[in-house]
Amino acid sequence: MDTFQVHILAADRTLYEGPCVSLTIPASDGERGILAHHASMMAAIVPGMVRWQPPGEGVQLAAVSPGMVKVENNEVLVLVDSAERPEEIDEARARREADQAREAILQKKSRQEYQLAQATLARALNRLRVKGGSGL
């Protein structure tokens, strides 16, 4: 089974570094899958779920914030502002954040406050999706 080297780095830590069989990242035009010997590319990462599979292991996943990915010479570099594995996500806190963001959206404040509330809601819902929470 062909593998490639992956570096998934958040601003405050290394989430994963090592061999990988497959990697899926959230991009503005949809999910992008990366396998060994992928063509060189760079792309923006949007908030969503990153999935990767180390050889001989199950698929790993994490909620990520915006960032970028670079693929070159069978090596992938993923740089994001933040990344959280499901076990690191506080489901109750994410639900509170989602509820507060929904309320802020309904209050029809300034455009900037509305956009911030939308971004907060998207992040909270993504964290809940990765955590496996229901009732979104």
Question: Which residues make Cβ contacts (< 8 Å) with residue 95, sequence separation at least 6?
Answer: 124, 128, 133
Alpha carbons 76 and 50: distance in angstroms, whole number? 13
Q: How confident is the model at residue 77 (pLDDT cuts 50, 70, 90)?
A: very high
74 Rama sector, left if φ>0, alpha if ψ -120 to 50, beta otherwise: left
Percentage of residues in the chain having pLDDT higher than 90: 61
Q: Are residues 72 and 43 part of one domain?
A: yes
**Can you give the pLDDT at residue 120?**
84
**Can you give the pLDDT at residue 126?**
84
Contact between 89 and 129 (Cβ < 8 Å): no
Domain residues for 111? 90-131
Q: Per the domain annotation, does 136 fall within a domain? A: no
Q: Per the domain annotation, does 110 fall within a domain? A: yes
pLDDT tens digits along 7-62:
999 999 999 999 999 999 999 889 999 999 999 999 999 999 999 999 999 999 99
What is the full DSSP assignment across 72-114? ETTEEEEEES-EE-GGG--HHHHHHHHHHHHHHHHTT--HHHH
Q: Are residues 111 and 50 part of one domain?
A: no
Query: Comparing C-alpha atoms, which of 55, 61, 67 is closest to residue 15?
Result: 61
**Can you give the pLDDT at residue 122?**
85
Q: Per the domain annotation, does 101 fall within a domain? A: yes
Q: What is the CATH number of the domain that holds 74?
A: 2.60.15.10
- Indicate the pTM of the whole model: 0.80
Q: Is the confidence at residue 136, as pLDDT, over 60?
A: no
Q: Is the confidence at residue 133, as pLDDT, over 60?
A: no
